[in-house]
Structure 1
């Protein structure tokens, strides 16, 4: 099998979570930077990373990297790469996205145009043609410029990995699926523990938790661009990896995962999304206001994405909502609360300083992940058979 260096972009601030996921899949990390993790893998790794990683945005095959401070250097550096190893004679190719940070070249449209010309020049010489019909499979390219270092990747994913395929109905300001998964993974929650989201919206937190509990791969029900690149990754490898994902699913697991929302229509949408994800039997959704939040058992988790009050008229009453959440949380016995929000008075209104606070970018919005940690449950005594 061919060996690749693969790039997995992710949300800023969550690189460590993605790094652990990649290591758990069995691959060696080559680099960790702001917003992306690079690792080594073969053709199977392309499939397994796309299908199994919960927190990545997409998977890129690294085509090459070089230094460029001028457009001429960008042109020559791009042209020197072996594009014919990836793009066939009839391939449709373009620079889908260009990002630049602290680099002399910063215009995305100019970077995209120069690189496209360089790729065309290279492939004209290799294939000895004067014109490309580009009527074959798609080969989108992504490029990052950081301090004049250019890194170019071939996008194997297509639509972002956060699009699992289950969220057909959305509430206002839904949280991305891969971000929700990462936030759950930052907690000690496991399938045998209670999880409640009192602002469940589209149901993303409960659904992602249920998929984890059932060992359901997030990408097992969707399509990836590289599935059509049989010369890069064989179709049998894709088939075998999807089969592996299907065999791992265990829907017999017992869970206590609950999602509440004050809007009946939103609750109905969350139920439908859970059904489409195949985990509706593992989640209890209910119309319930946050002021009615309660649970009779100990050591549960609240993991939630409450309203931020982005509109001024919403922000005026936001303190009431957070105060209600804080009051109900204090009435729960030995629970933990994990909450992502940009609301600046969250701790004040909850009525307690967070034990930990992590800055995370939700898209372009700076948010904070407040972590109010409850006590750990006592360890169960080992049986004679386990000793």
Structure 2
């Protein structure tokens, strides 16, 4: 198959996690940039990466890249790209994107110019002057960063964090892609216990179960490129059949707990929808009352922030409860995501490692405390 340049956008801080996932899937020429990972694949790679990548936000086809400081340059360079190799005669091709630190700073103007250029390219191919755009969706995305234009087509549709199991969520839920990245960064081993004492809507335990059972996170959802004529349906069928064949029936010891009864109920519902309820136990327990179960496990959690609870003092009291409760887990590794820059002082312990991550637009710190068998 013809090589295709692909881009996997990520939340800031987890680019290397996505790069490692792509390498494990067998893809080469993986390049890490801020907020994105590029790689080389084929049509099968579009299907497999959408199904399997846990930490990326979507999968994009890279159509081209060039520098532009005038609208004439933007138009001519855009028009020269092979849009006609992807967009069929009836294809819908809306344009969206962003511009940062560039001379062409007006996003609406850039959208209009890119749209006109693509139309001109397609006119040459299909010998018509008007396109009804009633067919499959080819969402064009552009990024303009320091006068460098990157033009892409989205293959995913709704973001990859939308696995399909979390129709309902509590206030300020953790994005599924970030939860998966937190677990992958922890190097949790599936033969060891895992606990999230602030489970909320169950995202961390559910993502852990999907990882532990080797269930592709996109297996229960659809992707916009499934309707593209360029990708034969057999390639999608083969990719899904492969994913089904690789599911493992593992004995996993994963627990989630929360002080809020409704959160525990919601977590159970979401785990059922994700088909991983057999792997997880959810309990209505406050963090101060948690107890170890087994040795050498992992606590992975996203405790409440001041932004969510309104009172910084209340959050800091929770951190002190965590300090006392987590001391019982002396053989466990502990991984805590919070935006609180002074967390370590309230927790009473300096982390072995600290990594900056972004939960949406909130800058957070992933404090990592390694156990004796890390």
Query: TM-score band (shorter)?
Result: over 0.9
What is the correspondence of 1:127-142 to structure 2 with a 5 Å cutoff?
A: 127-142=126-141
- 1:122 maps onto 2:121 in alignment: yes
Instruction: Output one character per residue of 1:119-156: Cα deviation in whole Å (capped at 9) or x when no partner.
Output: 11221222111211111111101111222111111100
1:30–1:148 Cα change, 3 Å: farther
Identify the residue that residue 241 of structure 1 maps to in structure 2: 239
**Where does the alignment leave 5 or more consecutive residues of structure 1 unmatched?**
378-387
Judge conservation of contact 1:83–1:123 (CA < 8 Å) in 2: yes
**Where does the alignment leave 5 or more consecutive residues of structure 2 unmatched?**
none
SS in 1 for 2:191: coil
Instruction: Output one character per residue of 1:35-86: Cα deviation in whole Å (capped at 9) or x when no partner.
Output: 1011101111110000011111111111111110111111111111111101
What is the correspondence of 1:29-178 to structure 2 with a 5 Å cutoff?
A: 29-95=29-95, 97-178=96-177
Instruction: Output one character per residue of 1:346-382: Cα deviation in whole Å (capped at 9) or x when no partner.
Output: 11111101111111122211111111111117xxxxx
Judge conservation of contact 2:50–2:218 (CA < 8 Å) in 1: yes
Judge conservation of contact 1:338–1:371 (CA < 8 Å) in 2: yes
Identify the residue that residue 354 of structure 2 maps to in structure 1: 357
Q: Cα offset for 1:90? A: 0.9
Judge conservation of contact 2:292–2:328 (CA < 8 Å) in 1: no
Instruction: Output one character per residue of 1:294-315: Cα deviation in whole Å (capped at 9) or x when no partner.
Output: 1142212110011111167432
Instruction: Output one character per residue of 1:290-337: Cα deviation in whole Å (capped at 9) or x when no partner.
Output: 010111422121100111111674322111111001111112231111
Normalising to structure 1: TM-score of the pair? 0.94
Identify the residue that residue 383 of structure 1 maps to in structure 2: none
Aligned alpha-carbon RMSD (Å): 1.3
Judge conservation of contact 1:98–1:142 (CA < 8 Å) in 2: yes
Distance 2:97 2:310 in 1: 37
Normalising to structure 2: TM-score of the pair? 0.97
Distance 2:270 2:138 in 1: 31
- 1:24 maps onto 2:24 in alignment: yes
| Structure 1 runs (4+) greater than 4 angstroms displaced | none
- 1:256 maps onto 2:228 in alignment: no
Distance 1:198 1:312 in 2: 17
Moved more, 126-135 or 155-164: 126-135
Aligned residues: 374
Q: Cα offset for 1:176? A: 0.7
1:112–1:310 Cα change, 3 Å: same
Question: What is the aligned counterpart of 1:340 among 315, 337, 342?
Answer: 337
